[in-house]
Amino acid sequence: MTTQRKSDDRIALLQGTLDLLILKTLVFKPCHGQGIARSILRHSEEVLFVDHGSLYVALQRLEDRKWISAKWGISENNRKARFYCLTAKGRAQLVEKSSEWRRLTRAMGLILEAGEGPQGEEA
Amino acid sequence: MFWRKRNAEDFAEEIKAHLELETEDLRNEGLSPEEAQWRAKRAFGNVRAVQEQFYLRGRWQWLDRIARDLRIGFRSLRQSPGFALTAVLTLAFGVGANTAVFSVMNAVLLRSLPVADPSRVVYLRPSNPPRNTGTIASEETISYPVYAELHREVRAMQSVMAYVPLATGKVAVRFGAVPEEAEGEMVSGQFFSGLGVGMAVGHGFSEPDETNHAPLAVLSYKYWTRRFERDPSVAGKTLYVNSVPMTIIGVAAKGFEGVETGQSADFWIPLQNRPELNAYANPPDDGKLYIANPKWWCLRLIGRLAPGVSKEQALAQLQPVFQAAAYTGLGNPQQGEKLPVLRLVDAKSFPGYESSYGTPIRVLMMMVSLVLIIALSNVAMLLLARNAARKREFAVRLALGATRAILLRQLLIESLLLVTGGGALAWVFAVFASRTLGLWARIETSLAPDRTVLLFTLGLLILAVIVFGLAPLRIALAAGVTPAIKTSQATAHADAGQSRTGRIVVVMQMMFCVVLLVGAGLLIRTLRNLEQTPLGMDVNGLVVFGIKPNTQALAETNAFYRELLAKLRVLAGVQDATIMQERLGSGWSANNNMKVDGRLSEVANGESRTVRSNVVGPDFFHTLGVPVLMGRDFTSSDTSNSPHVGIVNETFVKRFLHGQHPLGHRIGPASINWDMEIVGVVKDHKYRSIDEDPIPMAWYMYAQIPVLGEMQVELRVHGNPLEIVPTAAKVVAEMDPNLPLIQPMTQRAQFDTTIAQPMLFARLAGFFGLLAVLLVATGLYGVLSYRVNMRTAEIGVRMAVGARRAQVVWMIVKDSLALTAVGVFTGAPLAMLIGQALKRSLYGVKALDAMSYLIAVLGVGAIALLASAMPAARAASVDPLKALRVE
């Protein structure tokens, strides 16, 4: 079995961040699964790659939690697709999750920048 | 969302749509169709896995897993049916016995009276009643005048109610043509309303019904069911009570049968004021009925506290009223006389049950809890042994990818299955057992398990689950892949810690078994003593029944009995016939101090002066078969015109006559001026009960005393004593069609009622002792044979290097005998504690009865030997080569 090597500049998603990305993507307009995957890839300048299978499991999870709702429709290129849109509950979650994320990244940033000094010597 | 859960097809559809969209996008980016399709699929990953995740999401997964675990549990239990059956049965017995005894305890000692808000209801009890008063029970009963005063004066009580039975047993009633007997009570007008007892049919009494002595009756639900098949039209019909017509106006709510022990009233009537319906069916005393007699304290009182009034406040208000009223009509208290005191006793449960059943039930409860501990530890040991034997299975399962959590969960589910099975069986067993118990013990209150009992049982089962949960927990935590698979059978099980636990449990079981056996032994010896106690008379062939003639004048009553005896004596099969006032073996007796030759005689070192007396008919002792030691029996020629004659027993002579020749002395009750000449001395014999000690007794001739009412007829007959009853009933009916035979039974059965409770107690204790022995034996057998199994290889080695069979057997037996010795030595002191607790329930046996201890020790030893002999024999027959080849 050959394992698939990912492009070096792509980053696998951290646990829990996928939910946030999905919610954020759906803020602008309802979208189907494949569109969400593409959108995440495009908006992250091709850095964040979402495993499509995991994406659908995550979508289902969010739907079960009633953060998003779904119905079947027709895509821009005239194909059948299941469209997801954000619910009020999901919108509230998005606000909460993004502020959480910002605090996390700020804290990470502080630590990583402070820790760069001693390591720089060796490089 | 309103639609049902999304199905898997819809999800698959979405995946398909995704792949198509992605492929199209990739093609638009310039890839070939094949390349695009492949890339889309690769980006998606494992479709199956995603679909599986979709299927497993949410709680369904849980149910699914539990269903699977249940299947596995069932399968694994089915593989060892012997174990499963033993465990379930052990649990069923342990928990069932506890539930049964607890439901009796709950009904008898814990359950409240079936009245509204029982916490506000109290019994009003006197102590120290004034001199010269006669009581039914000196700490319980109060006279009518005192009741009337309390009822009228006290505002701290919302209501004060009095009640009194119409007879010590049953009274004659008639509904339609045939006379019957039933238990009836006279009660205050507020009895039902004050207690808050509802009516199933009609209505209860009112205050004016009491003052007017209205001829009304309320039936109990039980009597209504038994006698009237719950016919609602019974209201308005007439019930004749001692030939007095009473109109039935209602049926009390289901479950209410009065507020006293042992008397489950069939009907109630308002307090009456007529000689036919005097309290306790007594003839008027000095021409006075209970209602006008301040000397006869015969009513029991119950009351409800007024809202917002505490017990203390109520008592403060009641006490002076009571103390003043107590002396109305009795003259002033003598100097230095202690005043009577009123107490308020919580009506938490049935009065009297505590004193008559309290100790036995608590001891039984303790016994069954020991049985439960033995049962639980048995099953836990079985589980431990079984799981230890499965160590290799667990190791293999772990190696194949099961997690410890999964292993633990499955073991817990096995335990849960056992507990569920055992619990269900236990409940069935308990319902059946408590019903039987109630029947045997003649407990008339309902013993049906209620919510408290259910909670208790569930508590026990939860305890069982926890105990059995701990057993597998240990295995699951200890289980590892490599050691168990690698190590040999011989060493894999030589877990020192576990065998130590096993030994401790076995010792504990032995200990409890000794305690139970000693308890059972003491009680069974008590039972045998009671059964074999000589009564001092020949009870075989005696039959007894009560008669309450509807006669007014003394001469008329006398004539009635004379005629009755004459008619009964000539019946075919009747050898002898006589009458008596207090029925032998009923627990009742008339007691008072007696003067000898005009004064109370000296008694040695503080012995009691109380004499138990009875009023009897001619040929009394001859009929009973009691030997007359001196002088003569009563005869028909002792009449109201002839000199007063009396007969006493040996103990009377010994205590009061101090060696003088007894015949010719004059004796009589201390309180009144009436005496009689001793004309005979009879051998001591039993009067009230089988377990009474000899006490001075005296007998009056019925034809010579000033009051006469209900009497008990005693017949000595050939053949089956009860066969005479219909003929006797016919004779009585010829004299007065209104008279039933009251409680006809053989004299033997009547005496047996006095030891019914200790007999039941002993039988139960014996049963639980046996159950414990059985459980301990199975447990011990299981543990020992398990340990021998574990040592098969070791034994093989020993035999291979030259150990003889006898040595191997001794090695095994020695082990269990050592455990037994420790168990016996720790159990004996505990058993002594039980013996002390039982002291009051023993008869003719000392609490430190050597025989009972010896039997218990031998019993436990025998079990230990038996339970280890079989595994030992098996061990000895091990073929050394085979044993070693197991590796």
- What is the rounded CA–CA span in Å between residue B816 and residue B330? 74
Please state, in angstroms and as integers, the Cα–Cα distance from residue B792 to each residue in B22, B668, B864, following that order: 68, 84, 20
Mutate to test the interface with B, among A18, A36, A51, A52 (most CBs of B within 10 A): A52
More confident: B161 or A50: B161
Query: Which segment of A22-31, B249-258, B357-366, B433-442 scores lowest on mean pLDDT?
Result: B433-442
Residues of B in contact with A75 (CB under 8 A): 21
pLDDT recorded at residue A121: 42
Mean pLDDT along residues B359-388: 82
* CA-based nearest residue to B236, from B211, B217, B253, B209: B217
pLDDT recorded at residue B478: 64
* Count of pairs with CB atoms under 8 A, one residue in A, one in B: 65
pLDDT recorded at residue A114: 75
- What is the rounded CA–CA span in Å between residue B31 and residue B216? 106
pLDDT, mean over chain A? 80
Dump pLDDT digits (tens) for A112-123. 887 555 544 443
Q: How confident is the model at residue A3 (pLDDT cuts 50, 70, 90)?
A: very low
pLDDT recorded at residue B220: 93
Residues of A in contact with B54 (CB under 8 A): 56-57, 60
Q: How confident is the model at residue B249 (pLDDT cuts 50, 70, 90)?
A: very high
pLDDT recorded at residue B701: 95
Residue with tokens 């039935």: B248
* Most confident by average pLDDT, B401-410, B469-478, B709-718: B709-718
Among the partner-chain residues B17, B42, B45, the one whose CB lies closest to the CB of A80 is B17
* CA-based nearest residue to B782, from B494, B385, B371, B375: B385
Tell whether the model's pLDDT for residue B484 goes beyond 80: no
pLDDT recorded at residue B170: 85
Residue partners of B87: CB distance under 8 A and separation at least 6: B379, B382, B383, B418, B422
B710 contacts B560 by C-beta, under 8 angstroms: no
B476 contacts B411 by C-beta, under 8 angstroms: yes
Q: Residue B571: which region, alpha, beta or left (left: phi > 0; alpha: psi -120 to 50)? A: beta
Handedness of CA B753, B755, B757, B763 (dihedral sign): negative
Residues of A in contact with B2 (CB under 8 A): none
Among the partner-chain residues B1, B18, B58, the one whose CB lies closest to the CB of A34 is B18
The verdict on B722 touching A (C-beta cutoff 8 Å) is: no
Q: How confident is the model at residue B482 (pLDDT cuts 50, 70, 90)?
A: low
pLDDT recorded at residue B617: 95
Query: Which segment of B84-98, B163-177, B394-408 scores lowest on mean pLDDT?
Result: B394-408
Tell whether the model's pLDDT for residue B498 goes beyond 60: no
CA nearest to B1 within chain A = A66
Mean pLDDT along residues B243-266: 84
Write out the residues of chain A at the interface with chain B, using a CB-CB cutoff of 8 A. 4, 32-35, 37-38, 51-54, 56-57, 60-61, 63-64, 66, 69, 75, 77, 79-82
pLDDT recorded at residue A5: 41
Among the partner-chain residues B17, B18, B50, the one whose CB lies closest to the CB of A57 is B50
The verdict on B6 touching A (C-beta cutoff 8 Å) is: yes
* Torsion angle defined by CA atoms of residues A62, A65, A68 and A74, in that order, rounded to the nearest 10 degrees: 70
B777 contacts B866 by C-beta, under 8 angstroms: yes
pLDDT recorded at residue A13: 64
Q: Å from B490 to nearest chain A CA?
A: 44
B352, two tokens: 């009297």
Residues of B in contact with A77 (CB under 8 A): 21, 24
The reply to whether residue B1 touches residue A33, judged by beta carbons under 8 angstroms, is no
pLDDT recorded at residue B648: 95
More confident: B50 or B486: B50
What percent of chain B is predicted at pLDDT more than 90? Answer: 29
pLDDT recorded at residue B593: 84
pLDDT recorded at residue B1: 40
Q: Å from B448 to nearest chain A CA?
A: 48
Among the partner-chain residues A56, A61, A81, the one whose CB lies closest to the CB of B21 is A81
Burial (CB < 10 A; 0-12, 13-18, 19+), residue B250, is buried
Tell whether the model's pLDDT for residue B444 goes beyond 60: no
pLDDT recorded at residue A116: 54
Q: Å from B770 to nearest chain A CA?
A: 60
Tell whether the model's pLDDT for residue B294 goes beyond 70: yes
Q: Please state the ipTM of this predicted complex.
A: 0.82
B832 contacts B847 by C-beta, under 8 angstroms: yes
Query: Which segment of A84-98, B353-367, B675-689, B708-722 scores lowest on mean pLDDT?
Result: B353-367
User: Which pairs with CB-CB distance under 8 Å and at least 24 residues apart come from A54-59?
Assistant: A54/A18, A54/B45, A54/B50, A55/A18, A55/A22, A56/B11, A56/B14, A56/B15, A56/B18, A56/B50, A56/B54, A57/B50, A57/B53, A57/B54, A57/B57, A58/A18, A58/A19, A58/A22, A59/A22, A59/A33, A59/A84
Dump pLDDT digits (tens) for B626-682. 999 999 999 999 998 999 999 999 999 999 988 889 999 999 988 788 899 999 999
- What is the rounded CA–CA span in Å between residue B585 and residue B755? 10
Tell whether the model's pLDDT for residue B725 goes beyond 90: yes
The reply to whether residue B24 touches residue A77, judged by beta carbons under 8 angstroms, is yes
CA nearest to B20 within chain A = A79
What percent of chain B is predicted at pLDDT more than 70? Answer: 92
Tell whether the model's pLDDT for residue B775 goes beyond 90: no
Tell whether the model's pLDDT for residue B443 goes beyond 70: no
CA nearest to B7 within chain A = A60
B388 contacts B495 by C-beta, under 8 angstroms: yes
Q: Residue B128: which region, alpha, beta or left (left: phi > 0; alpha: psi -120 to 50)? A: left
- What is the rounded CA–CA span in Å between residue B556 and residue B539? 31
- What is the rounded CA–CA span in Å between residue B749 and residue B542? 10
Within the 576-615 window of chain B, which residues sit less than 8 Å (CB to CB) from chain A? none
B45 contacts A58 by C-beta, under 8 angstroms: no
pLDDT, mean over chain B? 84
Tell whether the model's pLDDT for residue B510 goes beyond 70: yes
Tell whether the model's pLDDT for residue A9 goes beyond 60: no
Mean pLDDT along residues B248-265: 82
Query: Which segment of B475-489, B563-577, B579-593 scores lowest on mean pLDDT?
Result: B475-489
Tell whether the model's pLDDT for residue B377 goes beyond 70: yes
Mean pLDDT along residues B282-286: 80
Q: Rounded to the nearest 5°, which phi and psi values hold at B30?
A: 105, 10
Please state, in angstroms and as integers, the Cα–Cα distance from residue B546 to each residue in B88, B587, B687, B713, B726, following that order: 52, 15, 17, 6, 14
Mutate to test the interface with B, among A1, A2, A60, A85 (most CBs of B within 10 A): A60
Residues of B in contact with A12 (CB under 8 A): none
The verdict on B42 touching A (C-beta cutoff 8 Å) is: yes
Among the partner-chain residues B1, B44, B49, the one whose CB lies closest to the CB of A66 is B1
pLDDT recorded at residue A4: 42
More confident: B472 or B154: B154
Dump pLDDT digits (tens) for A51-89. 888 889 889 888 888 899 998 988 888 888 999 999 999
B659: Cα within 13 Å, side-chain hemisphere: 1
pTM over cut 0.90: no
Q: Å from A95 to nearest chain B CA?
A: 23
Residues of A in contact with B22 (CB under 8 A): 34, 37, 52
The reply to whether residue A33 touches residue B18, judged by beta carbons under 8 angstroms, is yes
Q: Å from A98 to nearest chain B CA?
A: 26
pLDDT recorded at residue B441: 61
pLDDT recorded at residue B697: 94
- What is the rounded CA–CA span in Å between residue B563 and residue B575? 17
Burial (CB < 10 A; 0-12, 13-18, 19+), residue B352, is middle
pLDDT recorded at residue B385: 76
Among the partner-chain residues B17, B18, B57, the one whose CB lies closest to the CB of A52 is B18
Mean pLDDT along residues B11-18: 89
Q: Is B647 helix (H, G, I), strand (E, B) or coil?
A: strand
Please state, in angstroms and as integers, the Cα–Cα distance from residue B197 to each residue in B204, B255, B348, B351, B560, following that order: 9, 10, 16, 18, 42
Q: Is B403 helix (H, G, I), strand (E, B) or coil?
A: coil
Residues of A in contact with B45 (CB under 8 A): 51-54
The reply to whether residue A51 touches residue B17, judged by beta carbons under 8 angstroms, is no
Mutate to test the interface with B, among A41, A57, A79 (most CBs of B within 10 A): A57
- What is the rounded CA–CA span in Å between residue A83 and residue A73? 6
Mean pLDDT along residues B15-42: 89
More confident: B787 or B848: B848
Q: Is B31 helix (H, G, I), strand (E, B) or coil?
A: coil
pLDDT recorded at residue A122: 41
More confident: B385 or B120: B120
Mean pLDDT along residues B320-343: 82
* Most confident by average pLDDT, A14-23, B93-102, B105-114, B432-441: B93-102
B660, two tokens: 């003088």
pLDDT recorded at residue B559: 93
B289, two tokens: 């009925």
